[in-house]
Amino acid sequence: MPTLHKLAACLIVIAVVLGLTLPRAEPERQGRAADAAHAAQRATASPGTTARATPAGNTSPTALPTVSPTAPVKIGAATPRAAAAKANELGEIPVLMYHRILKKPTLSLDRSVDEFRKELERLAREGYVPITAAEMVSGRIDVPLGKHPVVLTFDDSTPGHFGLDEQGRPKPDTAVAILLEVAAKNPGFRPVATFYLNEDLFQMGDQAANGLTWLRRHGFELGNHTVSHPDLSQLSKKGVQKEIGGMESTIVRLTGTHASTLAYPFGSAPGKRSWAQRKDGEYDFRGIFLAGWKPSDSPFDKDFDRFAILRVRSEGKIKENDCREFCSTAWLDKLDKDPDTRYTSDGDPNTISFPSADEDTLAEGYRPYGRSY
């Protein structure tokens, strides 16, 4: 059955190589910025945009710089407010993975408009605040005291995610429109998300440049999901670079900006991870997302691997694919029941607060920001 095949393929989860890959600020490379600026001039983006390309992408925040201390760093004391809120910035962050959003779902990975709205309302009610994938991998997590970051990711740039009507507003019942509605009713719930794009951009045709520009201007992140959605594990180095580089050049041509993050089609990594991470003059990602079965480690955790970030499929507690335990409803239930495992903000994006028992979990490069209680 093709549906089951697709599902099985989409849920391929590669073995995670746990390395001590600490996030670092990427050096800016002039050649690439110049290439991108040139591309921006040729871009058909709507007039008035002042897109400026940088390797890390315009939508990408400046990374919280990691430090290589020469002497052991003593962890400071958390503020009483952070301790009272049980801040835990070494806790887990759910990165939710959505595919098609439709009024009437037809495939197993689809979610209905109604299910999507309800999931967002639940997130708002339980104190989650959306951040982008780029913000997460950069360690720029700016959510209020006591709140929990969540990353909303959408794969395959299908029309149920986004479109613009005649007046230039998001089409009703698209993921973007619903997210904006829920945010309007829930102050503090940021309407941001990350879209992993393939060559067919929301079926927008010659309006794609306008569409992508609209998304970027409204704080949405545009990520790379390859040109034609192949299984990268089956391709040569050249094939991998062509698929990723081709999509990247489309994104740069249409927006004047590079993507900061990539999601592997089917969650499937290429023969060598480095093929997907960077190609001189073409792409240079700060983070790569897989499919997955559990929330991600905090980016400040020493085990966090920014090139193998786990995501959780959005789905109820259905039997299929162990969703009773490993999809979004099940995980949100677990995090709600066991809040100590979840990332809870100290309200200050420049400090990393956590219970003192977890001190050894903090990545070395982030120790100067550490505050325990």
Nearest distance from C-beta of residue 291 to Zn ion, angstroms: 9
Angle made by CA atoms 165, 110, 114, in degrees to the nearest 5: 65
Nearest distance from C-beta of residue 262 to Zn ion, angstroms: 11
Q: Which residue is nearest to Zn ion (CB)?
A: 155
As a whole number of angstroms, the distance between CA 63 and CA 179 comes to 26
The stretch among 207-215, 257-265, 292-300, 309-317 that binds Zn ion (CB under 5 A) is 257-265
Indicate the residue among 196 and 300 with the shorter CB distance to Zn ion.
Answer: 196
Nearest distance from C-beta of residue 10 to Zn ion, angstroms: 7
The stretch among 261-269, 271-279, 333-341, 357-365 that binds Zn ion (CB under 5 A) is 261-269
The stretch among 79-87, 169-177, 265-273, 354-362 that binds Zn ion (CB under 5 A) is 265-273
Q: List the one residue from 89, 92, 155, 248 that touches Zn ion (CB under 5 A).
A: 155
Q: List the one residue from 92, 119, 135, 156 that touches Zn ion (CB under 5 A).
A: 156
Residue 221 token pair: 């992140």
Indicate the residue among 288 and 335 with the shorter CB distance to Zn ion.
Answer: 288
As a whole number of angstroms, the distance between CA 327 and CA 275 comes to 29
Indicate the residue among 117 and 225 with the shorter CB distance to Zn ion.
Answer: 225
Window 167 to 186, contacts with Zn ion (CB under 5 A): none
Nearest distance from C-beta of residue 61 to Zn ion, angstroms: 25
Indicate the residue among 264 and 275 with the shorter CB distance to Zn ion.
Answer: 264
Indicate the residue among 89 and 156 with the shorter CB distance to Zn ion.
Answer: 156
Nearest distance from C-beta of residue 266 to Zn ion, angstroms: 7
Position 248 contacts Zn ion (CB under 5 A): no
Nearest distance from C-beta of residue 259 to Zn ion, angstroms: 15
Nearest distance from C-beta of residue 102 to Zn ion, angstroms: 16
As a whole number of angstroms, the distance between CA 17 and CA 62 comes to 26
Indicate the residue among 139 and 267 with the shorter CB distance to Zn ion.
Answer: 267
Residue 128 token pair: 């989650």
Structural contact between residues 116 and 179, judged by C-beta atoms closer than 8 angstroms: no
Angle of the 113-125 helix axis to the 328-337 helix axis, nearest 10: 10
Tell me the β-bridge partners of 54.
none
As a whole number of angstroms, the distance between CA 235 and CA 241 comes to 9
Indicate the residue among 55 and 265 with the shorter CB distance to Zn ion.
Answer: 265
The stretch among 150-158, 162-170, 278-286, 287-295 that binds Zn ion (CB under 5 A) is 150-158
The stretch among 50-58, 143-151, 154-162, 306-314 that binds Zn ion (CB under 5 A) is 154-162
The stretch among 67-75, 152-160, 163-171, 353-361 that binds Zn ion (CB under 5 A) is 152-160
**Size of the residue set binding Zn ion (CB under 5 A):** 3
The stretch among 47-55, 155-163, 166-174, 275-283 that binds Zn ion (CB under 5 A) is 155-163
Footprint of Zn ion (CB under 5 A): 155-156, 265
